[in-house]
Chains A and B, each alone.
Chain A
Amino acid sequence: MTPTAVIAEDEPLLAQALRSELAAAWPELDVLEAVGDGAAAVGSALRHRPDVLFFDIRMPGLGGLEAAAELADAWPGNAAFPALVFVTAYDQYALQAFEAQAVDYVLKPVQPARLRRTVEKLRQVLAQRPRPDGAALEATLAQLRHLLQAGSPAAGAQPLLKVIQAGVGSSIRMVPVERVVYFEAADKYVRVVTEEGEVLVRTPLKELLPQLDPQAFWQVHRGTVVRCTAIDSVQRDEAGKLQLALRGRGERLPVSRLYAHLFRAM
């Protein structure tokens, strides 16, 4: 069977170059598609279900790591998850994390000798790939979790927020952090939902997160951070996905596979 791949790289010349380097290093590999951003990469990978993914780490919209996490979330259980190779120009700190997690990466400009080593490894991985099972996907998720953590500012490096200051008209609403039920990233702002109502802030969730107490506020999805004491129960729906029911509230919050490990019976 011909091995297949999808490339995600936002710079067209580099996508083209990777394609031709791969053609030389791995002639039988069939590159099904090359896309230019993270969201398109998730769509393309779900459509083609390739054997290998080459993801650039820095892309507009979703970065490579986030895209891989998103893909793992949406990946059907009956298919084997693709082998991941990340491509980056310069990301010294994250690279140590990649080595620690045994996730493959190549540096730009891509060197033919280095790419051949990666191809060799990929061939071995594909040859002895186990039957699709939950454990393999779980391992990939754990790796991605570590990598995403390595790239974000460490918890405790910043002082914790006491109040959320939200502009409402010409005034500033002061919302004590412990009153927040959950934060939800919307298009250009973050919804701060409290028991009494909700306010909007412009600070991205990524910047809010390190200022929240990680014991009290849990990230359960790329765009959702919940106060753990506000969660009433966790249920698994028909598709096998976790859903959070909140105390005294109607809405359900989906939990992404990346964070499903948080919810286990003691």
Chain B
Amino acid sequence: MRIDWFAKLGNLLQTLAFCFAVATLQYAFTPERPYAPNLVYSLFIGTIIWAVVDLGRVAMPSARETGWPPGWRGFALVAAGIVAGRFIGVALADLVCRRFDLYGADNHVHGAAQVRADLLITLVAGLVGCYWFYARNKSAYLLRRMREAERHANDARLKLLETQLEPHMMFNTLANLRALIAVDPPRAQAMLDHMIAYLRATLDASRAATHPLRTEFDRLHDYLELMAIRMGPRLSYALDLPEELAELSVPALLLQPLVENSIKHGLEPKVEGGRIEVRARREGARVVIEVRDSGVGANGQGSGGQGFGLVQIRERLASLHGAGASLDFSADAGGAHARIALPLAA
């Protein structure tokens, strides 16, 4: 346990200033009594309460995060502080006042009313002081939490952007483009067109909720064409969309993560590369779309199909079709296979 002694000293000084103010206020209301004993009593009581509460809460493990023990412990600590201040503080102050003869003409034998008044002052001042520190701690804690939350939100936004525009893919594609410009300008132009379409689709994906299956397949074509230029003979692919399903409305970029997973986890790690096939077909009242690759199979998303991309697809399917749609994923040594089934009538 580390104690920030600098902060504690600051608290003590504030407490002493507060005690000074209390003593002065008290003197203002009872000018017939001498000032010095008021001050000595106030300082001793305040210091004892400070010691019990401010140092005591450090010893409570529950107080570590917020700086204040939760629930009844907080009240108990304050009560203990005030009681200790009342008895120990008063006893010490009395000792000091006698030793230095501060009572002066005041015979210091007070009536019951005076004792009650002093007790009330101790109680009220103690509570006010404690509440002041409690409130300061709490607002500092909340401020810290707020900043943390803000930072988390920023991190999440950045992370999302980075997954959307995966920099590694981006710069490799640009490097290919740069190479193509020198050797094959028409092909470079075609590659650039695919890249523009891919970027536009990726950046727009959050805006359009659904689009026709034809558009979805066009975007896959853009992406796979980019990858085919990069990977050369290591990648072959086939896209198969029957005309009757072309206008079916599907969540935008639903298949994109599946194909990207196939490339990233299936084919890129495989030395000899492989093949991706995306096929849609009608099965009764349902549409079945399959993404099949001949990659390394066991991959970063876990063979149980719990990866981020798959979870997201399942969520989108569930929110659009409820239990009517499904995603099954399996992977083995021969590659990975994802199968989406959607109701034909959305």
Q: Interface residues, chain A, CB within 8 Å of chain B?
A: 10-14, 16-17, 20, 36-37, 39-40, 58, 60-61, 89-91, 107-110, 188, 202
Contacts and interface: CB of A to CB of B under 8 A. Distances in A.
A14 B183 contact: no
Interface in B166-221: 167-168, 170-172, 174-180, 182-183
A20 B182 contact: yes
B172 A11 contact: yes
23 contacts: A10-B231, A10-B234, A11-B175, A11-B176, A11-B230, A13-B229, A13-B230, A13-B232, A14-B176, A16-B179, A16-B183, A17-B175, A17-B182, A20-B182, A61-B269, A89-B170, A89-B172, A107-B171, A108-B174, A108-B175, A109-B174, A188-B297, A188-B298
Nearest to A91: B168
Interface in B146-175: 167-168, 170-172, 174-175
Given A11-B232, A17-B178, A60 B268 contact: yes
B269 A60 contact: yes
A151 B230 CA distance: 24
B285 interface: no
A108 B182 contact: no
Contacts of B268: 58, 60
Given A61-B269, A90-B167, A109-B178, A14 B298 contact: no
B323 interface: no
Interface in B283-333: 297-298, 303, 333
Contact of B175 (A39, A109, A188): A109
Contacts of A90: 167-168, 170-171
Contacts of A40: 271
A110 B177 CA distance: 12
A57 B232 CA distance: 18
Interface string B225-250: 00001111110000000000000000
Question: A-B pairs with the 7 shortest C-beta distances?
Answer: A17-B179, A109-B175, A89-B171, A108-B175, A12-B232, A90-B167, A109-B178
A60 B171 contact: no
B335 to A, nearest CB: 13
Given A60-B234, A61-B270, 12 more contacts: A10-B234, A11-B176, A11-B232, A13-B176, A14-B175, A14-B176, A16-B179, A89-B171, A90-B170, A108-B172, A109-B175, A109-B179
A89 B333 contact: no
A36 B235 CA distance: 13
Interface of B: 167-168, 170-172, 174-180, 182-183, 229-234, 268-271, 273, 297-298, 303, 333
Contacts of A14: 172, 175-176, 179
B232 to A, nearest CB: 4
Nearest to A89: B171
B182 A39 contact: no
Given A60-B270, A202-B298, A89 B175 contact: yes
A186 B179 CA distance: 38
A239 to B, nearest CB: 28
A188 B230 CA distance: 27
Nearest to B166: A90
Contacts of A36: 234, 271
Contacts of A109: 171, 174-175, 177-179
A20 B181 CA distance: 13
Given A11-B231, A89-B171, A188 B333 contact: yes
A113 to B, nearest CB: 14
Given A37-B271, A188-B333, A13 B168 contact: no
B168 A58 contact: yes
A14 to B, nearest CB: 5
B167 to A, nearest CB: 4
A37 B303 CA distance: 26
A60 B175 contact: no
Contacts of A13: 176, 179-180, 229-230, 232
A39 B175 CA distance: 24
A178 B212 CA distance: 56
A225 to B, nearest CB: 19
A31 to B, nearest CB: 15
Contacts of A17: 175, 178-179, 182
A188 B179 CA distance: 36
